[in-house]
Amino acid sequence: MRGATFAWLSTSPAVPVRWDLGHAGWSMEHAPDAASASAALPGVLDWRAASRLRDWHELAGRNRIVAVGVDSPRERARLLDAGLGDALSSHVAFVELGVRLARLRHGESSLPRSLRAGPVTLDLFHRDGRLDGRWLGLHPREFGLLWRLAEARGMPITRRQLLRDVWRIEHPPETNSLAVHVSRLRAKLAVSACSWLVETHPQGGYRLAARPAAIPCEAQCA
């Protein structure tokens, strides 16, 4: 894959020889934490305990990332369920790894036409969501925000990650633009009694709720 670049997602800048895609013609950019991982690049996530990113969960839903060094079938299933593109054992060689990563890389132009966010169907062509048979009338960033949360499948996404992936900015703005868009999105969902769908995570950021909290959504939206 001459000319292609991948992100090496690891606290260690050194790629083990068996996973070194440089032998297959790739260039490498080291990302020592999830915050520095470019969303524009396919990535290889180092799952070895000694060099695993502490904030790896911020990569949830990034389906052009392959985790390597995942020897437990249960862990591989966990990572796939979190939305990563693939999860491979320690024994995978760079030849196979390169082919798998290239397939994910080329898949970037074939995003799904639609995505489910709880009871909402997100339509990429219309860049809007449908709920109870009607369009929500989402602002482009409201749509991008809900789509990114849907990709993460219930995993929390930090404010910094959302600003980078949806707003395309690396540093938090001086305004509270994210909070404002979340509030407007919840208001549009509230029309169908589903403002509970976008949940504020206790440790910061947001995630999709699987179901309403103790209070029925009708009561929340009254």
8 A C-beta contact, residue 123 and residue 113: yes
Q: In angstroms, rounded to a whole number, what is the distance separating the alpha carbons of residues 51 and 154?
A: 25
Residue 35's pLDDT band (cuts 50, 70, 90): confident
Nearest to 159 by CA among 196, 213, 203, 208: 203
pLDDT-derived band at 216, boundaries 50, 70, 90: very low
> Can you read off the two tokens belonging to residue 150?
């849907």
Q: Is the pLDDT of residue 83 over 70?
A: yes
Tokens 């132009």 locate to 109
| Mean pLDDT over each residue of the chain, to the nearest integer | 86
Residue 68, pLDDT above cutoff 70: yes
Write down all domains in the chain, each with its CATH number in brackets. 5-109 (3.40.50.2300), 114-220 (1.10.10.10)
In the prediction, which pLDDT does 169 show?
A: 79
Structure tokens at 81: 């369920």
Kind and range of the H or E run holding 92: none
Give the DSSP H or E segment for 22. none
* CA angle 35–56–66, rounded 5-degree value: 105
Cβ count within 10 A of residue 213: 10
pLDDT tens for 102-160 read: 888 776 544 567 889 999 999 877 889 998 888 999 998 899 999 999 988 888 998 88
Give the residue carrying structure tokens 């169907």.
Answer: 121
Phi/psi-derived region of residue 91, left when phi > 0, alpha when psi is between -120 and 50, beta in every other case: alpha
Per-residue pLDDT band for 61 (boundaries 50, 70, 90) equals confident
pTM recorded for the entire structure: 0.57
Q: What is the pLDDT of residue 113?
A: 72
**Mind listing the pLDDT tens digit for each residue in 191-212?**
989 999 999 988 889 999 987 7
What pLDDT shows up at residue 2?
A: 55
